[in-house]
């Protein structure tokens, strides 16, 4: 197999479906590729919600100390390449193409899907570029995730435990926590968010069994506007939502564990300026259009709290994947929006607007246009339900600009 262009390699990678249990074949493929993950100084982040923004905050904090910092996140918002970054630069097209050609035989041999390919390329590029440290986000779960080849992280972080991916991770908080706890490694510190006791019990038991210090996160106090307190220090974020500030606090807690002076002005500036696309992201004004990747009931509950100060009328546009609790989330959205328009987008995993229910406009472009009309120039349009949906919307809105 030989790809002639990056576009050809990208189409091939995106077309490959990932297996439900990634770990064993991926670990074998990685070993055959030279185990590039070995020796990587990294932070490993899992959780139902909040792990993407926690990773981003931590990444920016680490850049105040280290010259070259890697970041691996999931899913992509604009391109498969945006999963893999060093100092805010995506993995270059020519590097992606060279890896696709060099490792295609191994990828085919172990039947790696898109997730396995992107994780493999992440470790290859970070190794080749000799990053000083990296932040690695779990793609799904933890125990059987491709990223769980990491053996000695500086710190493991579990941001939250909620009901998501239940067909893969279990039907109770305890079962889901058991999968997330799979990233805990012997003797390596663990920091968690404020987890339900059923989940915390599982995390605590796993940490004790492996001799891994379970470290309490910094005391957190939300303040008005964009400010919050973590320990004795006051910080600011670009988004006023309490959940976003809490994610920043978790990143600060991890950085402190790694010996970084989190009271420095450089760190405070990193927190203040850090952004994460698709997380309560304002992409337009008049009306104000906000994109948020809430994709489960816990995420929708957090979004409700964040949206309480939005200008009215507040018009929601909602779509979701079919393996999510779509109708329940749409109902939750209706409880805090003035109106909600249900729509659909093109993705093999996307739910139908008919199944999601509510006020339906099938074409999502028309749904957004109608939401803007209903909101008027001074209102708010809130688009949410799936990160994959948000990805499509961002492309359109940025093109409109």
> In this model, does residue 118 exceed pLDDT 90?
yes
Q: Across residues 295-306, what is the average pLDDT?
A: 87
* Longest Cα separation, the chain: 58
pLDDT band at 151 (very low <50, low <70, confident <90, very high): very high
Mean pLDDT, the chain, whole residue set: 93
**Whether the predicted pLDDT of 268 surpasses 90:** yes
Average pLDDT over residues 45-71: 96
Q: Which domains does the chain have, with CATH numbers?
A: 6-273 (3.40.1190.10), 281-400 (3.90.190.20)
CB 329 within 8 A of CB 297: yes
- Find the mean pLDDT for residues 131-160: 95
Confidence (pTM): 0.88
Local confidence band at 401 (pLDDT 50, 70, 90 cut-offs): low
Region 243-272 average pLDDT: 97
The predicted-structure confidence for 311-353, as pLDDT tens digits, reads as follows 999 999 999 999 888 999 999 999 999 999 999 998 888 999 9
Percent of the chain with pLDDT over 70: 97
Tokens for 181, please give them: 């706890």
Quick one: CA dihedral 353, 170, 142, 13, positive or negative?
negative
Query: How far is C-alpha 353 from the chain's CA centre?
Result: 25
Judge contact between 378 and 346, C-beta under 8 A. no
**Which is nearest to 61 in space by CA: 129, 157, 142?**
157
For residue 218, is it left (φ>0), alpha (ψ between -120 and 50) or beta? beta
DSSP state at residue 17: P
pLDDT tens digits for range 43-54:
999 998 899 999
CA distances from 191 to 40, 117, 145, 188, 290 (A): 20, 29, 19, 10, 30
Does the structure show a pLDDT above 70 at 166? no
pLDDT at 197: 95
- Which among 336, 315, 318, 328 is positioned nearest to 393, based on CA atoms? 318
Query: Which of 310, 289, 303, 309 minimizes the C-alpha distance to 368?
Result: 289
Residue 192 has pLDDT above 70, yes or no: yes
Cβ distance 36 to 134 under 8 Å? no
pLDDT of residue 19: 62
Q: Model confidence at 250, in pLDDT bands (50, 70, 90)? A: very high
What three-state secondary structure class fits 308? helix
**Residues whose CB falls within 8 Å of the CB of residue 257, separated by 6 or more in sequence, listed in order:** 154, 155, 189, 191, 215
Question: What value does the mean pLDDT take over residues 176-190?
Answer: 96
Of 258, 284, 213, 229, give the one whose Cα is nearest residue 59.
258
- What's the whole-number mean pLDDT along residues 8-31? 86
- Which CA distances in Å does 140 have to 53, 57, 177, 226, 295? 16, 20, 12, 30, 13
**DSSP code of residue 113:** -
Residue 174 buriedness (CB in 10 A; 0-12 / 13-18 / 19+)? middle
Count CB atoms within 10 A of the CB of residue 200.
19
Residues counted in the chain: 401
């Amino acid at each position: 197999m030989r790809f002639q262009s990056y576009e050809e390699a990208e189409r091939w990678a995106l077309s490959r479906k990932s297996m439900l249990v990634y770990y064993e074949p991926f670990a074998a493929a990685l070993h055959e590729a030279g185990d590039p993950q070995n020796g990587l100084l990294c932070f490993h982040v899992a959780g139902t919600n909040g792990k993407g923004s926690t990773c981003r905050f931590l990444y920016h904090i680490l850049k105040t100390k280290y010259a070259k910092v890697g970041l691996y996140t999931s899913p992509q918002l604009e391109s498969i390449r945006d999963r893999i970054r060093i100092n805010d630069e995506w993995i270059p097209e020519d590097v992606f193409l060279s890896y696709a050609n060099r490792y295609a035989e191994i990828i085919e041999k172990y039947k790696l899907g898109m997730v396995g390919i992107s994780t493999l390329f992440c470790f290859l590029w970070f190794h080749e570029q000799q990053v000083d440290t990296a932040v690695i986000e779990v793609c799904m779960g933890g125990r059987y995730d491709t990223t769980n080849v990491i053996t000695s992280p500086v710190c493991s972080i579990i941001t939250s435990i909620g009901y998501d991916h239940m067909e893969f991770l279990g039907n109770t908080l305890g079962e889901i926590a058991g999968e997330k706890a799979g990233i805990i490694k012997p003797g390596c510190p663990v920091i968690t968010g404020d987890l339900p006791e059923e989940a915390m019990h599982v995390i605590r038991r796993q940490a004790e069994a492996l001799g891994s210090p379970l470290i309490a996160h910094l005391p957190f106090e939300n303040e008005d506007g964009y400010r919050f307190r973590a320990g004795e220090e006051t910080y600011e974020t670009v988004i006023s939502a309490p959940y976003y500030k809490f994610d920043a606090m978790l990143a600060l807690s991890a950085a402190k564990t790694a010996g970084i002076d989190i009271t420095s002005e450089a760190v405070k500036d990193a927190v203040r300026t850090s952004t994460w696309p698709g997380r309560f992201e304002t992409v337009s004004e008049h009306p104000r259009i906000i994109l948020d990747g809430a994709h489960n009931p816990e995420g929708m509950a957090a979004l409700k709290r964040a949206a309480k100060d939005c200008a009215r009328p507040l018009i929601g546009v909602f779509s979701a994947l079919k393996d999510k609790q779509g109708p329940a989330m749409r109902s939750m959205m209706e409880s805090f929006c003035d109106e909600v328009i249900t729509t659909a987008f093109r993705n093999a995993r996307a739910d139908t607007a008919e199944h999601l229910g509510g006020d339906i406009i099938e074409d999502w472009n028309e749904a957004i246009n109608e939401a803007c009309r209903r909101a008027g120039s001074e209102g708010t349009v809130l688009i949410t339900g799936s990160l994959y949906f948000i990805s499509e919307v961002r492309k359109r809105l940025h093109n409109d600009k």
